[in-house]
Amino acid sequence: MYNTEFLRNEGSTMAEQRELANAIRALSMDAVQQAKSGHPGAPMGMADIAEVLWNSHLKYNPCNANWADRDRFVLSNGHGSMLLYSLLHLTGFDLSIDEIKNFRQLHAKTPGHPEYGYADGVETTTGPLGQGITNAVGMAIAERTLAATFNKPGHAIVDHFTYVFMGDGCLMEGLSHESCAMAGTLGLGKLVAFWDDNDISIDGHIGDWMEKGVPGRFKSYGWHVIANVDGHDAEEINAAIAEAKATDDRPTLICTRTVIGFGSPNLAGSHNCHGAPLGDVEIAKTREQLGWNHPPFEIPQEIYDGWDHKAQGSEVEEDWNERFRAYRAAYPNEASEFERRMAGELPPNFSEEMDKYIAKTQEEMPNIASRKASQNAIEAMGPLVPELFGGSADLTGSNLTNWSGSVVVNHDNADGNYISWGVREFGMAAMMNGMVLHGGLKVYGATFLMFMEYMRNSLRMSALMKIGTIYVYTHDSIGLGEDGPTHQAVEQIASMRVIPNFHTWRACDAIESGVSWKVAMQRGDAPTALIFSRQNLTPMERTAEQVSNIEKGGYVLKDCDGDADIILIATGSEVSLAVDSATAMSDKKVRVVSMPCTNAFDEQHQAYKDSVLTPGIKRVAIEAGVADSWYKYIGLDGGLVVMTTFGESAPAADLFKHFGFTVEKVVATVESVLG
């Protein structure tokens, strides 16, 4: 295990450490003041903790921010972003003082909350409280899993910690309970969280709205808890971190008592410094109290020298490189596989083999539920993609997300590829995002479509971060049947379709299901939702060209001779209804378009889109969901066969008839549109 000892140079004093920490405080209050907005309180309060962690324990290389075996650091209380930006700047990452001065300005690498992909060293986007700690749990799961897969006797190539700073707000959010309970259950010994116990949130002192027994709560989760650490005492902080790193059978919570806005003579300890600039007068007084006699944004060279981690970081990485070379000599196949996975590259034969599977499925045309078709696709992919890691929120038997090669990950086994997340959908999604951010795994997780509502913000976060998390949703509509409207998704698909950088697929049969899985796996820079049915779906006949066009999100499934009189657009279980309706309208020329992914279709060239939805031809959209997302395809003169209310509790066949998903209703709608 790396650097369990205190790495600070001998002879360093607490006064010198405080001076280094004060550089964080100065940069933070100066940047917030210049931006005229921001949160100086948390960076000033947690500066001493950050100084000890980053200078004496954290394993990282500012010259290579993405080194595979670096420790991960997550600022869960993301409003305190200047803490992280100060650390990145001072330690030698590619973040200049000009970027610090440009805090919160357009196109800066220093946005108001840390944004993944903007600045080197930012491991995840944080801002929505509770998601950072939950991402961190996912990172720790990934580290544990990859270590179990790749490490060999005498060769520990995956051996790093995940450290989290979090405030009271993170702990109030419900998903932090979900994820921290999971972390304790799994025994994630490489996860260390620091609770910034400053007794302050936006509304003031938290005693009226937050529980007193946070340490007891975490003990009940199965965490090791180090209570009552003075967050302004470097020796206490160091001792706590060393103890946490030596506790390898469970995660650790370090409870650090701090003063928000530390150093500010008039605002420290109050909510008034949480989310507003200190003001020029108070900043001047703070400089005097801290003994920081330097102009705004000016850091003395000796302070930079005390923080500079480039040489040490490069040395530590090179030590790992030497160990990896030895690993490669002993285990060449495993070394190559590790590099491929960490680069986020699929096996080179993936696309070809999936195309073979899809073609075979088209030949066989199984009449099965698309959730079962999804499981068949996973079964086909599993042997091809060893990094495939799945799970379900306590619905494996319904979601059908396991396969013959599934090996369960739990407290006693880390070397697996499937996890039961329990009934914690939001936590599952954010932990999945953390696993993807860590790298080395291709992650999917499932629940009923209706319960994506619990997950919505994590879906948005994966899209915002441009990461390839895969969300699997089954029981996709009123076709769920007897469980009733609480479980029947009506408006959810439409709402997901409008998330930027997010693809939503709803397959009409086993063939489209296989294609949707293929394209989701290949979308490493953006997330995907795959939506599947409970009930069996009629397989559709297709040519090879039509199969190829599925990837474009929308294509002509059934056509007519000459120009069509009407175009029927449908998704999922309603595609067969569109085909049956076209057959029934023998007096009309009808084109049937299957549109499993409106998002992918929108990205196609206009010429292709016009070849599918010919301009000037009227259209009717058919989907067992709300209408809103369809007007862009049918216009104001088109027709709709959709849901306008919530569902009911009854057998699926009765519900489809009751809500008008019948040939008769489609024909009548076409007649109305055509006049």
Q: Would you name the residues annotated as active-site residues? A: 425
| CB distance 591 to 566 below 8 Å | yes
CA dist., res. 100 & res. 82, Å (int): 8
CA dist., res. 426 & res. 459, Å (int): 9
CA-closest candidate to residue 58, choices 325, 261, 251, 237: 237
Place of tokens 């590619």: 94
Beta-strand relationship, 200-201 and 204-205: antiparallel
CA dist., res. 371 & res. 530, Å (int): 10
Tokens representing 376 are 């068949």
Q: How many residues does the chain have?
A: 675
Tokens representing 111 are 């946005």
Tokens representing 145 are 């899993």
| CB distance 14 to 6 below 8 Å | no
As a dihedral over the C-alpha atoms of residue 359, residue 363, residue 367, residue 368, rounded to 10 degrees, the angle is -30
CA-closest candidate to residue 666, choices 592, 556, 572: 592
What DSSP assignment string belongs to 71-90?
A: PEEEESSGGGHHHHHHHHHH
Residues whose CB is less than 8 angstroms from the CB of residue 631 and which lie 6 or more positions away in sequence, other chains included: 638
CA dist., res. 550 & res. 547, Å (int): 5
